[in-house]
Every structure is written in C-alpha cells, then in structure tokens.
Structure 1
Amino acid sequence: MDFDFSDDQVALRDAVQKWVEKGYGFERRRTIVEAGGFDRAVYTELAELGLAGLYVDEAHGGLGMGPVEAMVVMEELGRGIVLEPLAQTLIASGVIGAYGADDVKAAWLPRIASGEALVVLALQERGARYRLDRVAATASQAGGAWTVSGEKHLVAAADRADAFLVPAVANGQPALFLVEASAKGVTTTGHLTQDGSRAGNLSMDKAPAVLVCADGQAALEHAVDIGIAATCAEGVGAMEQTLALTVDYMNTRKQFGVAIATFQALRHRVADMKMQLELARSMSYYASLKLNAPAAERRAAMARAKVQLGNAMRFIGQQSVQLHGGIGVTDEYIGSHYFKKLTQLEMSFGDTLHHLGEVSSRMQDTAGVFA
C-alpha cells in the first residue's frame, strides 16, 4: 500500500504549514486566548486558504477533497495548536453534504465553504456522557415547520457560531436538525476551555429548525467519526511539536555541566515518546482511510484509533512535562499549552476508557490470536 502523499496533498500541507509558522505565532495565539479564545479574522484566513471548503463539493464552492486531505490539514493546525474549530466545519460540511436535502445543501454549503457561516455540532447533554443514543432535546412539527427545544453543553464556539447541528428526538427517534443562532428562542453563552479555545452552552425554546436527516443516529455517528479522525490528526501534529520542543530543551538544559540529552535514562524516555508518536500516526492514517467505510467498520476503526491516540497523547504530554521540569507547566512557556491541548483532545469525542469499551463491545467471537 502506498502511503506517499500526492503532489496536491503536499502542496496543501505546505500552504497550511507556512500560514501556521508566519501567521499564527505563540503571541498571536496568546492574544486570542485573552480576547476569548476565538478570532473570526483567523477563521476567515483559514477559509481563504480553502480549508473551510475541504469537504464541500466544487459545485457548492468547495475543494471537493477527502479525509486524507483533511488529515494533512489538521496535523499542521495541531502543530500550531490553532484555536479556531476547523474540525467542526469538517463535521458540518461532511454531514450536510452526505445527508442534507438539496435545498439545505444549496443554502448552507456555499456559506460554509466561503467562511461566511460557522456551523458547529451541538451534541453534549447533561448525563449523556459520551453516549450518542441519549438525547433529551425534542423536536416537534406543526404546519410543515419544525421547532427544537432543549439544552446542549460544551458546544464549540457556541456564542460565536452562526448555526448548530442539533440532534433531537422527533416522532420517537433521534433526528438531526440545523438551528440558526439568530433564530427566535435560541440563547447561547460562552466560556474559555482548558486549552484556551472557546465553548459554551446552547439553549433552545421552540427554536425554528431545518430537518437535515430523519435518521439522526446514523448521521450523528458519522459526524462524531469525522470529529474523531480530525482529532486524531490534530493530536499527531501537537505531539510531534511537543516532542520537538522537548528534544530542543534537553539539548540546551544543562546539569553537572553537560546537556541533559546526554543522560541515558532520559534518552530512553524520549525514545518511548517517539515510539508512541509513530504508533499514533499510523492509527491516525488508519482512521482517515476508514472514514468512508461502511458504518460498522468505520465505527470500530474510530474507536481503535482513539484508544491508541488517547494513550499516546497522555503519555507524550506527561513525559514532556516531566522532562522539562517546572517550566513545563508555566503559562509563559509554549510547552504547557501543548500539554493542555493534548489533555483536552484525549477527552474529545469520547475519552480513552470510553473507546476501549467501544472496541470491546465490537469484538467478534472470532477475535484474538486464535481467529
């Protein structure tokens, strides 16, 4: 199997890498965090690079690319620990493109691709944990129009988004709706998250909504799987940069008159970090390549990838802090922000223990060395 990137994929990676290096330095990121964790100007810059339209068909103004291109982009954004939620844009465009009616696609995909509209997934409810089959929000239909009522929490850029993809129970089963932030009955709040990005709560009281997909469970699972694949790729980029920072620090930090990089025990720990990074990278590739597989195969693959990525992110983040010493947790040092990002990514779209349970529940009778 050929794992080399195509010329177009390399060009895309290089373009994003240059933008991160020149346009999204640590000081700009710090300013964005102080201003609330989201900058519309930065999101517009991402859209101008074409990134908001990665999953949007060319007929709707997008690039018409796929999961591998998204993985390449998210790795580079992970290296820069970019705060703006491009993964949410991939989710929204992917789900609307796959499940939405033609009129919904025509109304929203061009706006998403241009960066005019930021659409995010409003999934989390109190008590649901990571379970996708527990939905308390409800939808009702009258005169051919839908309304949605309910509460959603930890919604990415909740008070800065233009619309939300909302799962709600309609006619006794989950369905997926699109609710505009400006609609009557919609209230949002915002707050910083641990890694400095922005999230918030969404409250809907008979808010007008557009039906995206009546089979909400299938669409929601697909949405979360797109998010997992993006999270895995973003984590690889963040881990790679974390390792580079750690090695650079060990080559400059001296004890007993020599660089600590010469200490054999510490070199072994760095080797273990590198091993975890490469295991994570291979599983991120696996997740992206399985994103268009049949639902059962795709769901199993995402759970396996998230287990490996979760273990790797936790290990690399913690080892980096240990090898840095006290400076590794200071706010002034960029390494602490990578650690917080990796910690938050490990818990996004289901933490390691949750997905370990998912892997276990999907094991077949023939699984194991005796199959």
Structure 2
Amino acid sequence: MDFDFSDDQMQLRDAVRRWVDKGYGFERRKAIVAAGGFDRAAYAELAELGLCGLYVSEAHGGLGMGPVEGMVVMEELGRGIVLEPLAQTLLASALIGGYASADLQAEWLPRIASGDALVVLAHQERGLRYALGAALTRATPQGDGWTLTGRKSLVPAGDAADAWLVPALTEQGLGLFVVAKGAAGTQASGYLTQDGSRAAEVSLNGAAAQLVTRDGQTALEHAADIGIAASSAYAVGVMDQTLAVTADYLNTRKQFGVPIASFQALRHRMADMKMQLELARSMSYYASLKLHAPVAERRQALSRAKVQLGQSMRFVGQQAVQLHGGIGVTDEYIVSHYFKTLTQLEMTWGDTLHHLGEVSARMQATAGVFA
C-alpha cells in the first residue's frame, strides 16, 4: 500500500508552508491577538490560496478535495499556530454540501469557497459539556421557514462570522439550521480564548433560520469527526514546531560551558517528545483516512485518535515548558503560545478522558488480546 503523498498534495503543502513562513510570522500573530484574535485580511489570504474551497465541489467554485488534503493543510497551519478558523470552514462546507438542499448549497457554498462568507458551527451550550445530542435551543416552524431561540457558547470567531450552523430541537428531534448574522433576534458577543483565538456567545431570540437537515444528530456527529481530524492535524503541526524550537534552544543554551543538549537526561526527554509526536502523527493520518468509513467505524476511530492526540499534546507541551525553564511561560517567547494552543486543543471536541470513555463504550465483547 502506498502511503506517500501525491504530487498535488505535496504542492498544496508547500504552498501553505510558504504562506505560513513568509506571511504569518510570530509578530503578525501577536498583532492579530492584540486586535481581537481574528483577522479578516489573513482569512482572505487563505481564501486566495483556495483553502476555503477545499471541501467545496468544483460545481460551486471549490477545489473538490478530501480529508487527506485537509489534513495536509491543517498541519501546515498548525506550524504557524494560525488563528483564523479554517477548520470551521471545512466542516461547514462539508455539512452544507452533504446535507443541505440544492438551493441552500447554491446560496452558501460559492460564498464559502471564495472566502466572502465565514460560516461556523455554533453547537456548544453551557452545562452540556461534550454531549453532542443535547441542546436547549428550540426551533419553531414559521411560514416557510423556522425561528430559533437559545444561546450558544464558545462559537469560534462567532462575532466575525457571516452565518452560524446551529443545532436546535424540533418536535421531531434535533435539526441543523443556518442562521445569517444580522438577522433580527441575533446577537453575538466576542472575546479572546486562552490561546489567543476569538470566540463568542451567540444569542438567538426568534431568529430566522434555514433548515439544513432534520437529521441534526447525524450531521453533528459528522461535523465533530471532521473537527477532530482537522484539530489533530493542526496539533501535529504545533507539536512539530514545538519540538524544533525546543531542540534549537537546547543546542544554544549553555551550562558548565557546554550546550545543555549534550546532557543525556535532556536528550532522553527530547526522544520521548519525538516519540509522542510520531504517535500523534500516525493517529492523525488514521483519523483523516477514516472520515469516509461507515459511521460506527468512523466514530470509534476518531475517538481513538483523540485519546492519543490528547496524551501527546499534553506531554509535548509540558515537556517543552520544562526544558525551557522560566522563559517557556513568558508571552514574549513562542513556546508559551504553543503550550497554550496544545492545552486548549486537548479540550476541543471532547477531552482525553471523554474520548477514552467513548472508546471503552464502543468496544465489542471480543475486544482484547484473546479476540
């Protein structure tokens, strides 16, 4: 079996890497954080590279690519700890393209692909933690459309988005709706998150909405799996850079007249970090390759991946700070930002313990060494 990337995938990776290296340096990122954690100009640059249309079909102006290309892109964005939520664009275009009516697709997908419209998923609610099917937001039919009433939390770039994908309860169960920003009854209040990115509280009070699908549970689980795969790839990029910066520091910092990289105990810790990185990378590949698998298999695979990624992110981030000493927790030094990003990613789409429970719950009676 050939696990090498194709020429097109390599060219895509190189194009994104060049943009990150030349166009999204640490100083620009700090300026974006200071300005609120989201930069429309940077997002437009991603759109110019064609990345916003990665999962959009060619018929709607996109590239019509798949999970492997998404993984390649997200890993490179992780190297620059890019704040703009491209992962949200990928899952929004996948949901609208896979579940919405033809009219709704024609209305939103070309705008998503061009970068003119940022659409993000607004699914989290206070007190419900990681329960995907739980929602207090209600959807009520009104004429040919719907109205939504409820409140969503931690919506990525929620006050900068042009529309939100909102799961809400109908009389028949959970549905998925799209709500345009600025519609009557909508309000978004933004704030910075711990890693410097932007999120918002979104309030809906009889807000007009368009139905994407009545099977909101299936669509939301699909969105979560796309989100896990994307965040896993992003985390691999972050860990890769964390390891590189830490190695440079150990080779530069001297104690007793020699680089501390020569100390055997520190070399062993670097080897352990590298091992965790490669375990995470292999499970990130596994997650992306399973996105088109049958639902039960896909859900189990993505939880397995999230368990390993969570363990790796925590280990690599904490070891990097320890090996740097005091400078590793200062805002002026990039390692602290890697650490905060990895810490927040570990809790995104369900933390390690949550997904360990998911893996356990999905084990068959024959699971184990004697199967």
Which TM-score applies when normalising by structure 1? 0.99
Q: Tell me the equivalent position of 2:189.
A: 189
- The 2-side partners of 1:127 and 1:342 are apart by 23
- The 2-side partners of 1:182 and 1:3 are apart by 46
Q: Tell me the equivalent position of 1:363.
A: 363
Q: Residue by residue, what CA displacement relative to the aligned partner does 1:136-166 show, whole Å, maximum 9, x if unpaired? A: 1010102222111100000000110000000
Write the letter of the residue equivalent to 1:361: A
Q: Tell me the equivalent position of 1:302.
A: 302
- The 1-side partners of 2:202 and 2:298 are apart by 29
Q: Tell me the equivalent position of 1:95.
A: 95
Aligned-partner SS, 1:203: strand
Q: Tell me the equivalent position of 1:249.
A: 249
After alignment, is 66-75 or 172-181 more displaced? Answer: 172-181
- The 1-side partners of 2:107 and 2:293 are apart by 28
Q: Tell me the equivalent position of 1:177.
A: 177
Write the letter of the residue equivalent to 2:286: Y
Deviation at 1:171, TM superposition (A): 1.4
Q: Tell me the equivalent position of 1:228.
A: 228
Q: Residue by residue, what CA displacement relative to the aligned partner does 1:187-213 show, whole Å, maximum 9, x if unpaired? A: 000000000000010000010000001
- The 2-side partners of 1:143 and 1:96 are apart by 22
Q: Residue by residue, what CA displacement relative to the aligned partner does 1:296-351 show, whole Å, maximum 9, x if unpaired? A: 11100100000000000000000000000000000000111001110111111111
- The 1-side partners of 2:258 and 2:142 are apart by 75
- The 2-side partners of 1:142 and 1:212 are apart by 15
Q: Tell me the equivalent position of 1:66.
A: 66
After alignment, is 141-150 or 178-187 more displaced? Answer: 141-150
CA RMSD of aligned residues (A): 0.5
Aligned-partner SS, 2:135: coil
- The 2-side partners of 1:333 and 1:363 are apart by 43
Q: Tell me the equivalent position of 2:2.
A: 2
Q: Tell me the equivalent position of 2:34.
A: 34
Deviation at 1:294, TM superposition (A): 1.0
User: Counterparts of 1:322-361 in structure 2 under 5 Å?
Assistant: 322-361=322-361
Aligned-partner SS, 2:128: coil
Write the letter of the residue equivalent to 2:136: A
- The 1-side partners of 2:92 and 2:339 are apart by 28
Count, aligned residues: 371
Aligned-partner SS, 2:317: helix
- The 1-side partners of 2:320 and 2:25 are apart by 21
Give yes or no for contact 2:145–2:211 (8 Å, CA) kept in 1: no
User: Counterparts of 1:42-121 in structure 2 under 5 Å?
Assistant: 42-121=42-121
- The 2-side partners of 1:145 and 1:302 are apart by 34
Write the letter of the residue equivalent to 1:199: A
